[in-house]
Structure 1
Amino acid sequence: MPMSMIRRAALAVCLAALSLNAAAQSESYESGADAFAAGDYDTALEQWRPLAEEGNAAAQYNVGLMYANGFGVTRNAGTARDWYRKSAEQGYARAQHNLGVLLQNGELGEPDYTAAARWYREAAEQGEAASQNNLAMLYVQGLGVDEDRARAARLAAEAARQDNESARRNLPRLLEGLPAATISGSNVNVRTGPGTSHDKLLQSDEGTSVRILATEGEWKEIIFPDGYAIGWIAEFLLDTEGKD
C-alpha cells in the first residue's frame, strides 16, 4: 500500500477514536448532570472527576462547584479554587466568575481584589452578566482596580440589559454619582460613537433625562437610566443647567 494511503488510513482511525472518545465523554458528563440534578452527588462526582482530570473544562468547573459548596464532599475552598482555576484558564466563563467570587470573599485568607477583578474581567468580556455586575462594583469602590464610576456604569448597564437583577438594583445608585443632563431637542439622534459618521443607535425626545459618562471633543457619551442604552450625542443637544 502506498505510504500516502497508509497515512490517510491511520488518520481516519485516529479521527474515529477521537469521535468515540468525545461521545463517551458527553455521555459521562450528561450522566453526571442527571445524577447531580437528582441529588446523587456521589455518582455525579464519579462521572465528572475523570473528565475533569482529562481536562474537560465544564467538568472541572462542576467538580470545583461541588467542593465549594460541600455537595457530596467535605467543603474545601482550596480544592474548589484549584479546579476552578484549571477550568478558568481554559476560558470557561462560569469558572472564571466563581474563582473571582472566591478570591473577592477571601475564602482562602485575605481578599484578593486584584485577582478577583482579573477573573471577573475575563468572564465579563465573554458576556457573563454576574461578572459584569461584580466588576462594576469593584470599579465603584476602587477595589483591585482604579476607581472609575463611568466604567462601572457601562458594565452594570450591560449586565442589566441581560436581566441581571443585582445590576438593575445597583445601577440607579451608581448613576447618582455621574453628571446629569436632559436632551434639549426633538427626535435627537443618539449614535454608536462620537461623530455623525457613526451609526444611529436610537432617537430621543426633548426632556429625556440622561447621565454623562465621558466627553470626546464636542460629543458626550450618555447612558439612559431607563432601558440602560449607552450612546453618543452632540454636546449642544444636552442641557446641563441646574443639574448635579
Structure 2
Amino acid sequence: MALSHLGLLVLAVAAWPAYAAAATVCDGQAAYDSGRFQDALKIWSQLAEQGDALAQFNLGLLYDIGAGVEANPTRAFAYYERAAAAGLPTAEFNVGVMYDSGRGIVHDASKAASWYSRAAARGHTRAAFNIGQLYETGDGVPQNLDVAEQWYGIASAVIPAADAKRRDLKRAINYSTSKRFAPPLAAYPVGTDAVLTPNRDVELVWLAPPEPSATRFFVELREMRGGNSNEVYSGYTDLTAIVVPLNDADRFAWRVYAVAEDGSHYSTSGWNRFTVTDDTKTRPAAMVPDHPSSRRGG
C-alpha cells in the first residue's frame, strides 16, 4: 500500500483546553522539554489513569518514539485511542495514521478514514488532506471525487499539495457533468460509537455515496425526550463529518440526506441513535447496516 498520504504522526505535545489539569500537565511538559523523560512518564502516567486526555496522548507519544521507555507502537496506539475517544484532534489523527499504516494495530482503511474524518471535523488540516486522498482513491471509503475536492479545500490553506490536488480534481470534475443529474444514492452514518467530549459535543461522520452522486449533505440531529422528538441541529454541508453541540438530553438520533445538486432529488439514511452516559461517553442504541465501501485494488 502506498503511504504517501499518511504524513508523520504528531510528535509534538498538543495544546488542550484548560479543563485538563494544566499545571500538572505542564510539569510533565517541562520535564519532557528538558529531556527528563522518566519524570514526564511518571507525571503523565498518573494523570492518564485519572482520565486526562492530554496526558494519555503525551504518554502515547513517549511509547511511540521510545522516549524514557522502550518503543512500543501497540501500547502507543492504546493511549492515543483513549485520548481520541475524548475528542482530542491530534490523538484522533494519530489513531487514523496507525490504522492507515498498520503500525501498532492491524491495518484498516475504513477505521483510518473514520478517525481522519473526526480529526478533520475538529480542524486538523493534515487529517482533512488524508481523508481527501482516501475519497480520491476509494481506499476505505467509496470513491467520490467531489467529496475529495471539498476535503482538499479545507486543507489547502495550510498544505500546498492539497491546493494543487483540489485544483486538479476540480478540472476533472468539470469535464464530467452527467452525474450532476443522477438521483443521489444514500449516504451512510458511520460510528455509532460517537463520543462526547467535556465540551458536550458529538462528532457525526458518514460515508459519502460513490460516484456518480451529489456533493451536498443535509444533517438532522434530534433529541429523544419523554416520548417526544425535538430538533437539536439541522444544516447543509459539503463535507462528510461535522461537530455538533449537544443539549442536556440523554438520548439522540441523527440521519443524513444526500441531496442532488439541483435540489430536485434526495436520499436519506436510516436514523442512527446514541445515548449519552453519565461518564461523558456515548454508547450506541441502534446500529445502521454496514455499507460495503469501494476499495482500491492492488
Residue 123 (structure 1) aligned with residue 119 (structure 2): yes
Task: Pick the aligned partner of 1:112 from 98, 104, 108.
Answer: 108
Which residue does 2:166 correspond to in 1? 171
| Seq. identity, % | 32
Task: Pick the aligned partner of 2:23 from 27, 30, 34.
Answer: 27
Q: Could you report, residue by residue, the CA deviation over 1:160-204 in whole angstroms, capped at 9, with x for unpaired residues? A: 13x1344235434444432159xxxxxxxxxxx9xxxxxxxxxxx
- Counterpart residue type for residue 39 of structure 1: G
Residue 135 (structure 1) aligned with residue 131 (structure 2): yes
Which residue does 1:72 correspond to in 2? 68
Q: 1:56 to 1:24 in 2, by over 3 A?
A: closer
Provide the C-alpha distance between the structure 2 equivalents of 1:148 and 1:24, rounded to a whole number of angstroms. 39
Alignment of 1:162-241 (within 5 A): 163-179=158-174, 215-216=261-262
1 or 2 for the larger relative contact order (CA 8 Å, sep ≥6)?
A: 2
Check conservation: 2:32, 2:40, Cα contact below 8 A: yes
Aligned residues: 165
| Bigger fraction of residues in helix | 1
- Counterpart residue type for residue 43 of structure 1: D
Three-state SS of the structure 1 residue aligned to 2:68 is: coil
Q: 1:133 to 1:93 in 2, by over 3 A?
A: same
Which residue does 1:86 correspond to in 2? 82
Q: 1:174 to 1:63 in 2, by over 3 A?
A: farther
Q: 1:113 to 1:215 in 2, by over 3 A?
A: same
Q: CA deviation at 1:97?
A: 0.5
Once superposed, what is the RMSD of the aligned Cα atoms? 2.5
Normalization by structure 1: what TM-score? 0.61
Normalization by structure 2: what TM-score? 0.51
Three-state SS of the structure 2 residue aligned to 1:52 is: helix
Task: Pick the aligned partner of 1:156 from 130, 135, 152.
Answer: 152
Provide the C-alpha distance between the structure 1 equivalents of 2:171 and 2:61, rounded to a whole number of angstroms. 36
Which residue does 1:202 correspond to in 2? none
Provide the C-alpha distance between the structure 2 equivalents of 1:29 and 1:148, rounded to a whole number of angstroms. 42
Provide the C-alpha distance between the structure 2 equivalents of 1:125 and 1:23, rounded to a whole number of angstroms. 21
Structure having the higher Rg: 1
- Counterpart residue type for residue 46 of structure 2: P
- Counterpart residue type for residue 115 of structure 1: K
Q: 1:71 to 1:174 in 2, by over 3 A?
A: farther
Q: CA deviation at 1:139?
A: 0.4
Provide the C-alpha distance between the structure 2 equivalents of 1:156 and 1:146, rounded to a whole number of angstroms. 16
Unaligned runs of 5+ in 1: 1-21, 182-192, 194-213, 219-244
Q: Could you report, residue by residue, the CA deviation over 1:123-144 in whole angstroms, capped at 9, with x for unpaired residues? A: 1111111111111011011111
Q: Could you report, residue by residue, the CA deviation over 1:13-42 in whole angstroms, capped at 9, with x for unpaired residues? A: xxxxxxxxx999322200111222223222
Unaligned runs of 5+ in 2: 1-17, 177-215, 217-259, 265-298
Provide the C-alpha distance between the structure 1 equivalents of 2:68 and 2:146, rounded to a whole number of angstroms. 43
